[in-house]
Copies of this chain bind each other. A is one copy, B any other.
Amino acid sequence: MKFYQKEVTLPRFERGYHLITHLIENIVPEIENITIGQFQAFIKHTSASLTINENADPTVRMDFETHINKMIPENMPYFKHDYEGSDDMPAHIKSSMLGCQVTIPITNGTLNLGTWQGIYLGEHRNYGGNRKVIITVFGV
């Protein structure tokens, strides 16, 4: 049984959805020696998210931003938690709707994603800053 863990600080991303597979899949190079296992990425924030979606067409990520802003809009008159700005409370709800972690099977030393799957960072604040992600890898 092998178990590895590493914390990575992502570069700053603007508000929206960003493909970050290439930034985190090789953080733990020992993944190469795992025949069967799991890879988890966990973001240590409550106004950003991690999810898996289409890895090819940038318009998918644009449409995510546009539509999810309609589902969870800013400036709702009933929002009480607004002192960090109008993007604050919607960012929290988006984070829980999309989730703060992804767990992906490892098969023969690599992430066993589908052809069209990639890992998205959802940056839900206008100025979110650097986000910290913990990568945990284990298996046999």
Contact = CB atoms under 8 A, between A and B. Distances in A.
Interface in A99-135: 99-105, 107, 112-117, 120, 132, 134
A99 B42 CA distance: 15
Given A46-B116, A114-B46, A136-B36, A101 B100 contact: no
A3 B93 contact: no
B78 A66 contact: yes
A120 B105 contact: no
A45 interface: yes
A92 interface: yes
Interface in A48-76: 51-54, 57, 59-60, 62-64, 66-68, 70-72, 76
Given A4-B36, A96-B120, 14 more contacts: A3-B37, A5-B105, A37-B136, A45-B114, A51-B99, A52-B95, A52-B100, A60-B92, A63-B81, A63-B93, A67-B79, A67-B89, A71-B72, A99-B99
Interface of A: 1, 3-5, 36-38, 40, 42-46, 51-54, 57, 59-60, 62-64, 66-68, 70-72, 76, 78-81, 89, 92-93, 95-105, 107, 112-117, 120, 132, 134, 136, 138-140
